[in-house]
Chain A
């Protein structure tokens, strides 16, 4: 079964603004990952944060993880039109199986 709920389900902001997406999960994790999907395309891995990490940065991306609340957030700073996509968090169940959250559809308006 899918786990993980993300909010908002859809987010529309102006170019240059920051976009924050949240993800909650239900089971214990070793790590949590964020992926991006352009419309009708495959997934691109953005960042992985381990359960013993609280925050991680990669370029304009900032990810936080709160294992006590079983939640994570993805912040995209100084958004660009090219950031328009769907963003999913994902956690592993078992050794390899990756389970995705419901996703946030982000639209950056020029």
Chain B
């Protein structure tokens, strides 16, 4: 079946550094990917929609300059958390839409801890 891979699965960084998380569709092309953030014991909150070859569409309240999204190819979207602070510590999950069928697949998530 289709697989979406996220890397890294977990990362610990110091406050003020930037962290990049990758989301790859391994065996299908994905023109659209989505980035979600999930705090402990809470639901997934959609952060942005990532479209291949164009700018991401951010949800209300999500700072586009803080959460940089790049979708440079049909199989890869990256989320960069710039100048990370402890409040950015969260579980970040991506999903990818298979271009020819519209099916949606989720990655395993990336846990970010900012010290």
Contacts and interface: CB of A to CB of B under 8 A. Distances in A.
Contact-size category for B: 20 to 34
B91 A100 contact: no
Contact of B44 (A40, A44, A100): A100
Interface string B30-51: 0010101000011111100100
A100 B43 contact: yes
Interface stretch (A12-20, A51-59, A64-72, A91-99): A91-99
B46 A97 contact: yes
A44 B106 CA distance: 8
Given A40-B91, A42-B109, A97 B34 contact: yes
B95 interface: yes
Contact of B107 (A42, A88, A96, A101): A42
Contact of B32 (A41, A42, A96): A96
A98 B49 CA distance: 10
Interface string B96-114: 0100001010111101000
B93 interface: yes
Contacts of A40: 91, 109, 111
B60 interface: yes
B24 to A, nearest CB: 13
B7 to A, nearest CB: 13
A25 B22 CA distance: 31
A96 B46 contact: no
Given A88-B43, A88-B44, A96-B32, A43 B106 contact: yes
The 9 closest A-B pairs by CB, nearest first: A42-B108, A43-B106, A42-B106, A100-B44, A102-B43, A100-B43, A103-B43, A42-B109, A42-B107
